[in-house]
Amino acid sequence: MKLKPYSLGVLLLTLLAPATLSSAPALAAPVVATPVPQSHSADVIGRFLTGFYGEHGPTPHDRKTRVSQLLKDKQEESPDADVLLCARSEPQQIVVGPVTVAPSAGVGWATVTTHWDAGLTDTFTAYVRLDSQPIRVDDVICAG
């Protein structure tokens, strides 16, 4: 019997068909998507920062649990200053300004104003990563 040139391909497909069919269910298994982290809105960040800073600064518990490792390291390097307040003492009042969110940068921030004796004020910027879970202060940049 003389084989036609295309018959070898048909023969191979016939031989491979059972293996292909038996492995088809494995190939058709559902793909589990990795959940996309929730992105904090400007409103959520504003409420978080207002609660975090309160009237006079973050509580010891908040300093341990709601701050990034970066800020904890900065605080260790600056024992004479409070890196979360950009100060050396406790302010009389703290006001968190409007929050800006930059989704492409993955960060939100607000200017925080501290009020001191004799009507003096100072400002700094507090940053929050949009995907932080739980939400926490990621960095603080002092104005001066």
* The predicted structure's pLDDT at residue 28: 56
- Does 30 reside within a domain? no
* The predicted structure's pLDDT at residue 37: 60
- Does 131 reside within a domain? yes
- Does 18 reside within a domain? no
- Does 114 reside within a domain? yes
- Does 24 reside within a domain? no
The domain of 58 spans 42-142
The total of other beta-carbon atoms located within 10 Å of residue 52's CB is: 23
* The predicted structure's pLDDT at residue 122: 96
Interval 37-64 mean pLDDT: 94
- Does 7 reside within a domain? no
Cis peptide, bond prior to residue 134, ω within 30 of zero: yes
Sorted by sequence, the CB contacts under 8 Å of residue 65 that are 6+ apart come out as 136
- Does 15 reside within a domain? no
Confidence of residue 134 (pLDDT cuts 50, 70, 90): very high
- Which of 3-17, 37-51, 52-66 is the least confident region? 3-17
Residue written as token pair 């100072």: 122
Q: How many folded domains does the chain comprise?
A: 1
Distance CA 20, CA 5 (A): 23
* The predicted structure's pLDDT at residue 71: 97
- Does 51 reside within a domain? yes
Interval 55-79 mean pLDDT: 96
- Evaluate whether 45 touches 101 at the Cβ level (below 8 Å): yes
The total of other beta-carbon atoms located within 10 Å of residue 95's CB is: 16
Q: What is the CATH number of the domain that holds 68?
A: 3.10.450
* The predicted structure's pLDDT at residue 21: 47
As a whole number, the mean pLDDT across the chain is 84
- Evaluate whether 57 touches 75 at the Cβ level (below 8 Å): no
- Evaluate whether 139 touches 71 at the Cβ level (below 8 Å): yes
* The predicted structure's pLDDT at residue 31: 58
